[in-house]
Chain A
């Protein structure tokens, strides 16, 4: 069952071969750029570009749709609520009682939603193409202590595991007649306790055993650690670094020096 819950996608692609540090740099710059862009058409183009980059890693359409599905609730929420809470000026599209939905506020809502989707895709570009080993190695090379690097990547490794456990717990409670979908808001919150408690207990048990297993394999030994595979900066890393940096400079120039509203 747990095989379904795997984040890293094992393929050979340009992105897979990149140094994790370069990839992390690219992702962070990409995220900053997301916030610089303000206009809807540009954000849309940017979104399409990111999807293209994601698909270039040969992860398959399903993995992209997975992100879309994951982001769907928040996307819908933002598009619906933005015009309500930030009515703004401009032409009124339609009115619902005291609520006035204007075109600019709707556009801003959609833009923000797409931006968030961009962030998600950027994060998944990194997660889909970077192995746990590269993650630890990259973060340690960037100065993070080894213990924290390991902790970070192990937590990523266990996200799918806990996903699996939660769905198992949900099944187990449903089999006892629990109906999560029924009842008032507060009743439903109460029902989620039936999932929370077993999840937390199971997670704590796993964490306890994990700590013992790691300790038994000399985690935290006083000697200086070695690494099976060391990171080497390759040509593709330099090219990517150059490309990402110049794109960033270009965006900054247009926005702040030329003062063009993008």
Chain B
């Protein structure tokens, strides 16, 4: 039997690099397998993808040692256009892989290049667009579509060349929850109905657990784990060592087994529900009772009771804020009233297009309300320039490359300080303390552009933090970086919050909203749907469902096990409940 993909002792280094990026990859993939590849940033995942369709070595050059065989043929012996009909490639960024001006043209691009007759191309377009459920968008320009739709068009554009293998490089990491669901269900169909061989590079282990036949972990150019999802994802320690985030239920199983000598093995939420159901027959009202005892709450993390919109001295307040972009009638924000109090750690969650970014851009004056008012430190933003507001409100943009321009990290950090017109001595002191706080001291002389994404994020965060603004806004600070780096970033942000900064974070990561913020704002369709503590917000399942948001896995597990009262937000909290349960003292004490 020929394998779909067979890689033997593959080493590769780019033209410009001294070291090998792939260091001895051995891999055999059977036809029809769904393989997920995980790995920290810089592990060589994208490089591996590019070797599978001959872009490496044919297009990018460099040095490839060993053998890569696709459906039995050595990639060295066939050119990229031939391989394109065997291996379809889909990338993360829509901006660079959708370059045509209509969906139809996008899908036709490949077959046209291959010299397929027009009647046949038409058939393929209709088929491919049907498979990805985008047929009704055939004549739309791709850049007007949502993230999930764009990614599905990119898949169709690969499918129209009738490949047997589909390789996807982080296809969902830039998407909102709806987009992720759309793309993953299309991939599920492709596997089931078209018997497609799928290789997907992805971070989100909980999704991987649902779809994959096989999971591989790549670290520093080597495959360090390879096996069934239960085996690989269940090895929580190993995943964590590779800076990856195991599914919460796997983590739960491991800890329960270790602390209470159980023999659980959970891969998905469903399994965890099944496995734990019998232990939770009686409804438990845990969190509520714990909550009454102040000190026990402190044991998880500080969680002051607070009442949003009630503070007397808000640092930012929006009053009946309405906004539509110039020349359009489309109301992006509808009558929003919100008070941000000093010291808040606010997470704003919601789908793309729900108005999250538009809302926070009002806080630093980049946008001014169409109707209503926004006050920062009690001054209407209409009366102040962005530069003036930048002394109060720091804004870290989603893409660090949009801010970075200096030759060294240190200069990048001092740029904002110079704009503030501080004295040389003050600038030096602040730069010093910021570099120390952010752990950038060692790379202060390096050019920021050559750093990895996680470090570039840190630099752009540092360049805003150094300005010591009372408020910090962060737009999706953890997108595209591995879990450990994300946690590092969030810990730094938490420290800043403890030092008194007011933090506003836009995120698609529910665990970050649950575990870090002390206030969660849910937005949908230009309105605020919920605004409360994360616990309260994640207990409102109906409203969350309406906003297409899914609580963290552990929270869902708690809810399905009839833990009434307030929901569980982290694994730690779940162990706490479990420990009480296990001592057999649940019902008397908690009911």
Residue A165 at the B interface, CB < 8 A? yes
Shortest distance from the beta carbon of A56 to any chain B beta carbon, whole Å: 22
A39 at the interface (CB under 8 A from B): no
Q: Which of B155-170 contact A (CB under 8 A)?
A: 157-158, 161
**A217 close to B109 (CB less than 8 A):** yes
Segment of A42-50, A92-100, A103-111, A190-198 engaged in the interface with chain B: A190-198
Contact with A217, one of B158, B361, B399 (Cβ below 8 angstroms): B158
Pick from B55, B385, B397, B405: contact of A193, CB below 8 A. Answer: B405
* In the complex, chain A residues whose CB is within 8 Å of the CB of B59: 211-212, 215
CB distance from B77 to the nearest CB of A (A): 15
Contact partner of A198 (CB less than 8 A), chosen from B88, B95, B364, B404, is B404
A165 contacts B390, C-beta separation under 8 Å: no
Convert A210-229 into 0s and 1s, putting 1 for each residue whose CB lies closer than 8 angstroms to a CB of B: 11111111111111111111
Q: Is A259 an interface residue (CB 8 A)?
A: no
- What are the residues of chain A within 8 A of B161 when measuring CB–CB? 217-218
Distance in Å: Cβ of B78 to nearest Cβ of chain A: 11
Stretch at the interface among B117-125, B434-442, B508-516: B117-125
Q: How far is the CB of A143 from chain B (nearest CB, A)?
A: 19
Q: How far is the CA of A217 from the CA of B394 in the complex (A)?
A: 42
Q: Are A176 and B449 in contact (CB under 8 A)?
A: no
* B contact residues vs A (CB 8 Å cutoff): 50, 53, 55, 59-60, 79-81, 84-85, 88-89, 91, 93, 95-97, 99-102, 104-105, 108-118, 121-122, 125, 141, 143-144, 157-158, 161, 325, 327, 361, 364, 366, 385-387, 390-391, 394-395, 397, 399, 401-405, 415-416, 419-420, 449, 463-464, 467
What's the minimum C-beta distance from A21 to chain B, rounded to whole angstroms?
19
Pairwise interchain contact B402-A168, C-beta atoms closer than 8 A? yes
Q: Of A133, A213, A217, which one neighbours B102 at CB under 8 angstroms?
A: A133
Which segment, of A112-120, A201-209, A240-248, faces chain B?
A201-209
CB–CB A221/B402 < 8 A: no
What are the 10 A-B residue pairs with the smallest beta carbon separation, nearest first? A177-B419, A221-B81, A197-B405, A209-B96, A223-B115, A175-B395, A213-B97, A218-B113, A217-B110, A218-B81
Given contacts A176-B416, A218-B161, A228-B118, contact A133 B105 (CB under 8 A): yes
A10 to B420, CA, bound (A): 46
Across the interface, do A226 and B118 meet the contact criterion of CB distance under 8 Å? yes
Given A175-B366, A175-B397, A176-B464, are A157 and B91 neighbors across the interface (CB < 8 Å)? no
Separation of A202 and B401 alpha carbons in the complex (Å): 7
**CB atoms of A3 and B143 under 8 A apart:** yes
Nearest chain-B residue to A168 (Cβ)? Answer: B402
Contacting pair A174 B114 (CB below 8 A) = no
Chain A residues with CB under 8 Å of B391's CB are: 177
Query: A174 touching B405 by the CB < 8 A rule?
Result: no
> What would be 24 A-B contacts, judged by CB atoms less than 8 Å apart?
A6-B141, A132-B102, A161-B95, A165-B402, A171-B366, A174-B390, A175-B364, A176-B390, A176-B464, A176-B467, A177-B387, A198-B401, A201-B401, A201-B404, A209-B91, A210-B97, A213-B91, A218-B80, A218-B110, A223-B114, A226-B111, A226-B121, A228-B125, A229-B118
Most buried by B among A161, A171, A178, A228: A228
Question: Does A260 make an interface contact (CB < 8 A)?
Answer: no
**Shortest distance between the CB of A27 and any CB in chain B (Å):** 19
Residues of B within 8 A of A175 (CB): 364, 366, 386, 390, 394-395, 397, 464
In Å, the complex CA distance between A111 and B325 comes to 36
User: A62 at interface (Cβ–Cβ under 8 A)?
Assistant: yes
Cβ 8 A contact of B403, one of A176, A218, A221 = A176
By a CB distance below 8 angstroms, the chain B residues around A214 are: 99
Q: Which one of B113, B115, B463 contacts A219 once the chains associate, using CB atoms below 8 Å?
A: B113
Cβ-defined partner of A132 (8 Å) among B105, B405, B415, B467: B105
Q: Distance (Å) between the CB of A16 and the closest chain B CB?
A: 13
The complex places the Cα of A87 from the Cα of B463 at a distance, in Å, of 52
Q: Once bound together, how far apart are the Cα atoms of A214 and B117, in whole Å?
A: 20
Residues from chain B with a CB closer than 8 A to the CB of A213 are 89, 91, 96-97, 99
**B366 contacts which chain A residues (CB < 8 A)?**
171, 174-175
Q: Which residues of A contact B403 (CB under 8 A)?
A: 169, 172-173, 176, 198
- Contact between A157 and B394, CB atoms less than 8 A apart: no
Q: Given A218-B113, A227-B112, are A209 and B93 neighbors across the interface (CB < 8 Å)? A: yes
Q: Quick one: CB contact mask for A224-236 with B, threshold 8 Å, 1 for yes? A: 1111111000000
A174:B386 contact, CB within 8 angstroms: yes
Taken together as a complex, chains A and B put the C-alpha atoms of A109 and B449 apart, in Å, by 47
Question: CA of A217 to CA of B195 in the docked complex: distance in angstroms?
Answer: 21
Complex partner residue of B401 from A173, A205, A222, CB under 8 angstroms: A205
Task: Give the Cβ gap from B62 to chain A, nearest Cβ, in Å.
Answer: 13
- Is the CB–CB distance between B420 and A177 below 8 Å? yes
- How far does the alpha carbon of A154 sit from the alpha carbon of B161 in the complex, in Å? 21
Q: Tell me the smallest distance from the CB of A155 to a CB of chain B, in Å.
A: 10
Interchain CB contact under 8 A, A168 and B96: no
Are A226 and B143 in contact, with the CB atoms below 8 A? no
With both chains docked as a complex, state the minimum distance between the C-beta of B146 and any C-beta of chain A, in angstroms. Answer: 11
CA–CA, A217 and B124, complex, Å? 15
A169 to B400, CA, bound (A): 10
Q: How far is the CB of A169 from chain B (nearest CB, A)?
A: 5
Q: Complex: how many Å from CA A202 to CA B113?
A: 28
Quick one: given A222-B79, A227-B118, are A209 and B97 in contact (CB under 8 Å)? Answer: yes
- Note all chain A residues with C-beta closer than 8 A to B115: 221, 223-226
- Return the chain B residue nearest A195 by Cβ: B405
User: Is the beta-carbon distance between A206 and B121 smaller than 8 angstroms?
Assistant: no
**Do the beta carbons of A201 and B449 come within 8 Å of each other?**
yes
Distance between A65 CB and nearest chain B CB, rounded to angstroms: 10
Contact B113–A225 (Cβ < 8 Å): yes
Is A184 interfacial (CB 8 A cutoff)? no
* Minimal Cβ-Cβ distance residue in B for A6: B141
Tell me whether B99 and A228 are in contact (CB under 8 A). no
Question: Taking the nearest CB of chain A, how far is it from the CB of B430, in angstroms?
Answer: 13
> Separation in Å of the B522 CB from the closest CB of chain A?
22
Task: Kindly identify which residue among A158, A171, A178, A228 contacts B121, using a CB–CB cutoff of 8 Å.
Answer: A228
CA distance A160 to B84 in the complex (A): 29
Write the chain B residue with the least CB distance to A217.
B110
Known: A133-B105, A171-B397. 20 other contacts (CB 8 A): A10-B141, A133-B100, A175-B390, A176-B464, A177-B467, A194-B415, A201-B449, A210-B96, A210-B99, A213-B99, A216-B89, A217-B157, A217-B158, A221-B115, A224-B115, A226-B121, A228-B104, A228-B105, A228-B121, A228-B122
Alpha-carbon gap, A226 to B118, bound state (A): 7
A171 CB to closest chain B CB (Å) equals 5
A4 CB–B CB distance under 8 Å: yes
- B93, B101, B118, B419 pick with most chain A CB within 10 angstroms: B101
Are A228 and B108 neighbours in the complex by a CB distance under 8 Å?
Answer: yes
Cα distance A100–B330 in the bound complex, in angstroms: 52
CB distance B390 to A157 under 8 Å? no
Q: B387 contacts A220, CB within 8 Å?
A: no
Q: Closest approach, in angstroms, between the C-beta of A123 and any C-beta of chain B?
A: 18
CA gap between A171 and B111 in the complex, in Å: 40
Closest chain B residue, CB of each to CB of A230: B118
Residue in chain A with minimal CB distance to B96: A209
A195–B403 Cα distance when bound, in Å, is 8
B402 touches A172 (CB 8 A): yes
Task: Report the bound CA distance from A212 to B91 in whole Å.
Answer: 10
* Beta-carbon contact of B55 and A154 below 8 Å: no
Query: Which residue in A2, A132, A218, A225 is a CB contact (below 8 Å) of B101?
Result: A132
